[in-house]
Amino acid sequence: MSPPKNTPADDPVRSPVSCPPNPRQRILVVDDELQIRQVNTVALIYSGYHADAAEDGAVAWDALQRTNYDLLVTDYQMPKVTGLELIKKIHAARMEVPVILASGIMPEEELTRCPWLQPNLTLLKPYGFHQLLAAVKQVLRTFSEARNQTAPPPDWQPQVGQPQVGQLRR
């Protein structure tokens, strides 16, 4: 009896990359190049994420004001508001949204001068479908793990009568 033939789903090189849909994982894709914006958005939607798109940093900033995103994937060089200016706005507003800076040109000098503006991950263009999805998964997983470490355990209950952090005693 001959061994069973591999199907495309059995072959990780030929199988489509996908993850289970999670409606809580909302991603905002920002790029002034229409084709890149469309390809990235479609790739993320195909992989089970909810993805919105913005053509520049100003439109992205408006979207970030209206919607809570789990991740921002942004280009650097864009009209109106650059990717780094967008990161500055997010930082100044104390928003907790991880950022992937996906660009052909990285603002190394400015990032060195302002290390607090470092994106969670940089992705140098041109990149492939699998590289984008791997970066997205990595940043979402890392950010989620960091959040879970700072949150109290699910079964945590404050002790009655004990002062809690931020609670004043009379």
CATH code of 65's domain: 3.40.50.2300
Q: Tens digits of per-residue pLDDT, 60-92? A: 999 999 999 999 999 999 999 999 999 999 999
Residue 161 lies in a domain: no
Residue 167 lies in a domain: no
153 pLDDT tier (thresholds 50, 70, 90):
low
Give the ranges where 47-120 is alpha helix by DSSP (H).
Answer: 57-66, 83-92, 108-113
Residue 6 lies in a domain: no
Structural domain count of the chain: 1
pTM: 0.73
Task: Report the DSSP pairing between strands 26-30 and 71-74.
Answer: parallel
Residue span of the structural domain in which 66 resides: 26-139
Separation of alpha carbons 126 and 131, rounded Å? 10
Bigger pLDDT: 165 or 149?
149
Q: Tens digits of per-residue pLDDT, 14-27? A: 434 444 544 469 99
